[in-house]
Chains A and B, each alone.
Chain A
Amino acid sequence: MLALDDVSIIYAARSGPVQAVSGVTLHLPVGGSLGLVGESGCGKSTLALAALSLLPPEARLSSGAVRLEGQDLATLPEAKLRRLRWTRMAYVPQSAQNALVPVHSLRRQFRDTAAAHGMRSAAADERAAALFQRVELDPAILDRFPHELSGGMRQRAMIALALLFGPSLLVADEPTTGLDVIVQRQVIDLLRDLRTEDGLALLFISHDIGVVAELCSHVAVLYAGKVMESGATDRVFSLPNHPYTMGLQRAFPDIRHPERSIVSIAGHPPRLSAPPQGCPFAPRCPFAQPLCHNTVPSLVAGPDGRAVACHFAADAEALRDRARDPALWDAAA
């Protein structure tokens, strides 16, 4: 369905080029679901935009290829690409508040989208009403403006808009951020239903590994624009092989282990304009050895379809044990 092969993305900033994503390879099968997790600024959103071929002008794909259903998006002419968007792949962005056009009613936005792909207004209205029912919204809301809706309603309207042409791929970039817990739950349930009932392939981006664990069969952990670890979700989160995943896991409350205290990984992600020489996580890693600071570990595929980029992946068992101590994470700083 969607395949990212060795994708690197460079931003042209005033101070010089910045490598936002380097050498990321991801595969999302038809009807599959893949979660991308990481701290903010790790390149998740950039990757999501790259998957949709929507990178801003100052960013460019410096290597690799993004393929949708086997077609290399970079080689497609803009007109073809445009027709592909929303019909084959749709996008639910971070904040529906900002992503909906503020000066148009929802109906207008459905119609404009429909018109861009040759669908008539009447048909668009009909489809919009149906989709609104699907996302449990009153079709009367169609004539409202975005600012008149609550955050949850907006996000559901956004999802309904994404389903306009029944795409086979949905890219959702932190769709639940900024919503209260109950609404978050509704949105997640909705997405899960869509996935299971409509067979939609889902690329789900979040910093919340709990949500990812619930929605996605597979997950990739990103740090500083690189994949640290990937694999089946339950496996990755139950037995993390990368120290970063371990830290990340400890950073969220776990319903299964409510007694665990929450830690924060000390320090900040590296500046991408001047990345560290070795493993990007080394400066914050409580287990870092001199080797880590000098040599970049490569992403090594494991036997169970998992991959990890750590020099000490072999010692994962021992590291997991040590990682249980909350003091360890604070001390690393």
Chain B
Amino acid sequence: MAFWLYAARRAAHTAVTLVLLLVFMYVLFRLVPGDPTTIMLGTGELPFEAQQRLRELWGLDRPQWQQFVTYAGNLLTGDLGMSFYFRRPVIEIVWPMLLNTLVLMTPVVVISIVLGVVIGTWLGWRRGERIEEIGAILALIPRALPVFWIGIVLLALFAYELRWFPIGGMRQAFFFPETWYQELPFFDVARHLVLPVAAGVLTSMADPLMIQRTALIEVKHEDFMTHARARGLTERAQRRLARRTAFLPVLTYSAIMVGFAFGGQVLLEVVFNWPGIGRLMVNSVSQRDYPVAQATFFLMAAAVVTLNLLVDLAYGWLDPRIRQ
């Protein structure tokens, strides 16, 4: 019962955070000068009078507070509004891009955490050995490289020089399989995924790795690890035990990591020409397409905030100590 109360309270907090976020973003975007019609005005594609008419049609001539009331009201009914730039419901614009982004981000996050935990455990287990010192520094190096730079280097090597992988994009517009494995359903997307995922994993892996390593070093000194050794558990079983216990901080971090991944996603998407939500967001900011920019911002933020909530709740499941 207490758990449900706790969960409900956390959920309420999350909801408040989301609402605040929404207002914050709305205000932020309205502060940016110009609207989508001004850009067409500036390139001389739209005369001033026509621009004014467009602003009327799109409701941009109304006072800000009225626009906000409309926006918030629509939002309550699940309507994210209409994109100025695409003149379609925002959800139709954002949804496919969000899916594309998830296709790229999910493997990045999952592989980063799995590899980070495995390697971090290994390094922590080897604490004090020279190989651990070198390994820890090696793990720091890709973390220090800008992700777009890694992407460029990977592209130069594996796409331009060796030609093993495509230059960018998510699919080849017209892909004609030549051999049996190329006919596998996701082959085309998969081969487009390799390089961006590699670049993403290289940079995202270091954090869970270092956290896992530190946690493991601390866990290793716990009495129950000595006791596990005394019980004659095999080294593998001991390491598994340590990994399982040390995983909790990584779990907490994973929610933050998804946030970072969302934030850094745009660089990967630019370098690898991935049709995802990060590029959509940056473009919609440049195009002053507020409804889309707000929705993308909000979706990302909501994902992070909600994940935080889920992680908090999952914590209870993974760490029975705080389950009450």
How extensive is the interface on chain A, given as a class? 20 to 34
**Does B233 lie within 8 Å of A99, measured CB to CB?**
no
A291 interface hit (Cβ, 8 Å): no
A71-106 with Cβ < 8 A to chain B: 82-87, 90-91, 93-95, 98-105
B56 interface hit (Cβ, 8 Å): no
When chains A and B are docked, how far (Å) is the Cα of A183 from the Cα of B224? Answer: 22
**Does B321 lie within 8 Å of A147, measured CB to CB?**
yes
Query: Which of B233, B318, B321 is close to A113, meaning CB atoms less than 8 Å apart?
Result: B233
Given contacts A57-B128, A102-B319, A82 and B230 within 8 Å (CB-CB): no
**Does B232 lie within 8 Å of A112, measured CB to CB?**
no
When chains A and B are docked, how far (Å) is the Cα of A105 from the Cα of B320? Answer: 9
Q: Which stretch from B173-181, B205-213, B237-245, B285-293 is at the chain A interface?
A: B237-245
**Does A82 lie within 8 Å of B227, measured CB to CB?**
no
Query: Which of A54, A85, A101, A115 is close to B241, meaning CB atoms less than 8 Å apart?
Result: A101
A237 interface hit (Cβ, 8 Å): no
B22 interface hit (Cβ, 8 Å): no
Q: A57: which B residues are within 8 A, CB to CB?
A: 128
Q: A252: which B residues are within 8 A, CB to CB?
A: none
A117 interface hit (Cβ, 8 Å): yes
**Does B237 lie within 8 Å of A112, measured CB to CB?**
yes
Given contacts A83-B232, A113-B231, A93 and B237 within 8 Å (CB-CB): no
**Does A85 lie within 8 Å of B320, measured CB to CB?**
no
**Does A103 lie within 8 Å of B318, measured CB to CB?**
yes
Query: Which of A49, A86, A147, A161 is close to B226, meaning CB atoms less than 8 Å apart?
Result: A49
**Does B233 lie within 8 Å of A93, measured CB to CB?**
no
Given contacts A95-B223, A116-B237, A147-B321, A90 and B245 within 8 Å (CB-CB): no
Residue-wise, chain A 40-56 has the 8 Å CB interface mask toward B (1 for contact) of 00000000010010101
When chains A and B are docked, how far (Å) is the Cα of A54 from the Cα of B223? Answer: 12
Q: B224: which A residues are within 8 A, CB to CB?
A: 98-102
Q: A287: which B residues are within 8 A, CB to CB?
A: none
A145 interface hit (Cβ, 8 Å): yes
When chains A and B are docked, how far (Å) is the Cα of A113 from the Cα of B241? Answer: 12
**Does A102 lie within 8 Å of B245, measured CB to CB?**
yes
Residue of A nearest to B245 (CB): A103
Residue of B nearest to A97 (CB): B223
B229 interface hit (Cβ, 8 Å): yes
Query: Which of B228, B234, B321 is close to A102, meaning CB atoms less than 8 Å apart?
Result: B321
**Does B321 lie within 8 Å of A90, measured CB to CB?**
no
Q: A117: which B residues are within 8 A, CB to CB?
A: 232
When chains A and B are docked, how far (Å) is the Cα of A105 from the Cα of B323? Answer: 13
Residue of A nearest to B322 (CB): A147
Given contacts A93-B226, A95-B223, A103-B244, A82 and B320 within 8 Å (CB-CB): no
When chains A and B are docked, how far (Å) is the Cα of A115 from the Cα of B232? Answer: 10
Q: B319: which A residues are within 8 A, CB to CB?
A: 102-103
Q: B222: which A residues are within 8 A, CB to CB?
A: 98
Q: B230: which A residues are within 8 A, CB to CB?
A: 52, 54, 85-86, 90-91, 93
When chains A and B are docked, how far (Å) is the Cα of A103 from the Cα of B219? Answer: 12
**Does A102 lie within 8 Å of B226, measured CB to CB?**
no
A130-161 with Cβ < 8 A to chain B: 145, 147-148, 161
Residue of B nearest to A101 (CB): B224
Given contacts A54-B226, A57-B128, A101-B245, A113 and B232 within 8 Å (CB-CB): yes
CB distance from B283 to the nearest CB of A (A): 46
**Does B223 lie within 8 Å of A93, measured CB to CB?**
yes
Given contacts A57-B128, A113-B233, A94 and B223 within 8 Å (CB-CB): yes
Q: A145: which B residues are within 8 A, CB to CB?
A: 320-321, 323
When chains A and B are docked, how far (Å) is the Cα of A275 from the Cα of B214? Answer: 34
Q: A56: which B residues are within 8 A, CB to CB?
A: 226
Residue of A nearest to B228 (CB): A101
**Does A86 lie within 8 Å of B232, measured CB to CB?**
yes
CB distance from B321 to the nearest CB of A (A): 5
**Does A86 lie within 8 Å of B321, measured CB to CB?**
no
Given contacts A102-B319, A103-B319, A116 and B245 within 8 Å (CB-CB): no
Pairs A–B under 8 Å by Cβ, sample size 22: A52-B230, A57-B128, A84-B232, A86-B232, A91-B231, A93-B226, A93-B227, A93-B230, A98-B223, A99-B223, A99-B227, A100-B224, A101-B228, A101-B245, A102-B224, A103-B319, A112-B241, A115-B237, A116-B233, A147-B320, A148-B320, A161-B231
Q: Which residues of B contact A (CB under 8 A)?
A: 128, 222-224, 226-234, 237, 241, 244-245, 318-321, 323
Q: Which residues of A contact B (CB under 8 A)?
A: 49, 52, 54, 56-57, 82-87, 90-91, 93-95, 98-105, 112-113, 115-117, 145, 147-148, 161
Q: A85-B230, A115-B237 are in contact. List 16 more A-B contacts (CB 8 A).
A: A83-B232, A84-B232, A86-B231, A98-B223, A101-B245, A102-B245, A103-B244, A103-B318, A113-B231, A113-B233, A116-B231, A116-B232, A116-B234, A117-B232, A145-B321, A148-B320
Closest CB pairs A-B (n = 10): A85-B232, A98-B223, A145-B320, A99-B227, A91-B230, A99-B223, A86-B232, A113-B231, A116-B233, A147-B321
